[in-house]
Amino acid sequence: MSINRRQVIAGTAGLAAATALGGKFGIGNALAQDGIPTFTPEEGASLRLLRWVPFVEAEEEAWNANTKAFTEATGVEVRIDQESWEDVRPKAAVAANIGSGPDMVMGWFDDAHQYPDKLLDLTDLGVALGQAHGGWYEGLEGYARRGDQFIALPLCAIGNAICYRQSHMEKAGFSEFPKDTAGFLELCKALKAQGTPAGFPHGKAVGDANNYAHWLLWSHGGQMVDDQGKVTINSPETLAAIEYAKQLYDTFIPGTESWLDINNNRAFMAGQVSLTANGVSLYYAAKNDPAMAEMAEDIRSVTLPIGPIGKSVELHQTSTLSVFNHTKYPEAAKAYLAFMYQADKMNAWIEGASAYCCQPLKAFADNPVWTSNPIHEPYSHASESLRPNGYAGPLGAASAGVMADYVLVDMFAEAVTGQRSAEEAAANAERRANRYYRV
């Protein structure tokens, strides 16, 4: 019986997609609607997915509902293990190394590039999904591909944007939010002058500090490496970024050099800072708390200002889904992924995530979540403005190592706290980065 049900999956999955997309094509032998291959799960298959602990409850509910629908359609049980988001990387790496543990992982950034040989080739699915749904966003696709091969599927960009208090900005004499870095510095100075300063983390905040540091660097035209993987961090552009960071730091609330990921949220919620950058969760923390209603009304969001290079570039968080090749049920895993990327499933999930997760495929950009609340708007551009870490070089152990070792975060922190001059900080970052890019 279960075999029959399993054989039905492809059909169910395909039919759902077909209904959603208007049934333009007929179902081929091995291809369901829109040319997406179908996969028949192995007999008695069950799967384990390792994912990061959800930040938004409705996101988890939507993901689990989709998973449940998959299990109902195929009979394949999917166990979802959650790990705090910083622990996913080491856990997945160990699973990859020893060849046992979860079958699939919802990982971060360039995780997949640390152990590409241990991952199942998802090229057939990746190419087909891209073609079916308007194409992948370039930055996200970069994280999932190695050459022509998909070693993962891009899942989402977790958007980062400035969250600020409208009333505080107006009080500081600004009617609208500055669009460029120079104007932004003026705003931060004015905010400090009136006792409601800004604050961005210079501590070892995996997400927020890296987002901030990469924006500082890239907005001024600096880059860690060139397209050949040669370290080019010690450049005039980097020095300009550091000088700018120092000026901004002078306007911050004291103590940002010790901030970990949660500190900016705390300080913002307590009204100690009136401007910081974060995911949309910051807004929802205020909105969901009746005592914070007044603050929630006052919060606005905007993309980070554009620097001398003239366009919006940011790191954001990126999540990908990959399948370990030690899985006993590769077909079931691919069937699961194909199911989760069906338009109705993916849209339901993106909607559940309340603007926390930005779509990986362009066709989902018109998801109603982006227009349901003006706060969401800046987060809708995350996948577009996203640039992979280790830009402009190849992704791999080196790019991952440099970020995990906080080379860029430390460079800015060393300079803004006066421990090193801008030149020394850049030279030190160059020395440290060279270590990772030596091979």
Partner 1 sequence: MSSHSIADQPSVQNRPSVLERIVQSRNGLGFLFMLPAAAFLLCFLTYPLGLGVWLGFTDTSIGRPGIFIGLENYIWLWNDSVFWLSVFNTMLYTVVASVLKFGLGLWLALILNEHMPFKNFFRAIILLPWVVPTVLSALAFWWIFDSQFSILSWVLMELGLISGPINFLGEPNNARASVIAANVWRGIPFVAISLLAGLQTIPQSLHEAAALDGATPWQRFRRITLPLLTPIIAVVMTFSVLFTFTDFQLIYVLTRGGPVNATHLMATLSFQRAIPGGQLGEGAAIAVAMIPFLLAAILFSFFGLQRRKWQQGGRD
Residues facing 51 on adjacent strands: 82
Q: Are 52 and 83 in contact (CB under 8 A)?
A: yes
Among the listed residues 81, 266, 366, 423, the single contact to partner 1 using CB under 8 A: 266
Contact status: 257 vs partner 1 (CB under 8 A): yes
Phi/psi at 179 (5° precision): -95, -20
Among the listed residues 259, 283, 341, 370, the single contact to partner 1 using CB under 8 A: 259
CA distance 228 to 240: 23
Q: Where are the alpha helices (DSSP H) in 250-380?
A: 263-269, 281-287, 293-298, 330-340, 343-352
Using alpha carbons only, how large is the chain's radius of gyration in Å? 22
Contact status: 263 vs partner 1 (CB under 8 A): yes
Which of 48, 432 has the CB closer to partner 1? Answer: 432
Phi/psi at 372 (5° precision): -75, -20
Which of 85, 150 has the CB closer to partner 1? Answer: 85
Which of 117, 294 has the CB closer to partner 1? Answer: 117
Among the listed residues 408, 410, 422, 429, the single contact to partner 1 using CB under 8 A: 410
Contact status: 68 vs partner 1 (CB under 8 A): no
Q: Segment contacting partner 1 (CB under 8 A): 122-130, 146-154, 202-210, 370-378?
A: 202-210
Contact status: 203 vs partner 1 (CB under 8 A): yes
Residues facing 77 on adjacent strands: 46
Contact status: 260 vs partner 1 (CB under 8 A): yes
CA distance 220 to 213: 11
Which of 78, 112 has the CB closer to partner 1? Answer: 112
Q: Are 260 and 126 in contact (CB under 8 A)?
A: no
Q: Which residues of 58-77 are buried (b: 16+ CB within 10 A; e: fewer)?
A: bbbebbeebbebbbebbbbe
Question: How far apart, in Å, are the Cα atoms of 162 and each of 177, 208, 367, 390?
Answer: 10, 11, 22, 23
Contact status: 290 vs partner 1 (CB under 8 A): no
Among the listed residues 1, 26, 29, 117, the single contact to partner 1 using CB under 8 A: 117
Q: Segment contacting partner 1 (CB under 8 A): 42-50, 182-190, 367-375, 413-421?
A: 413-421
Which of 259, 379 has the CB closer to partner 1? Answer: 259
Q: Which residues of the chain form contacts with partner 1 (CB under 8 A)?
A: 86, 89-90, 93-94, 96-97, 114-118, 202-204, 253-260, 263, 266-267, 270, 272, 397, 400-401, 404-406, 410, 413-414, 417, 419, 428, 432, 435-436, 439
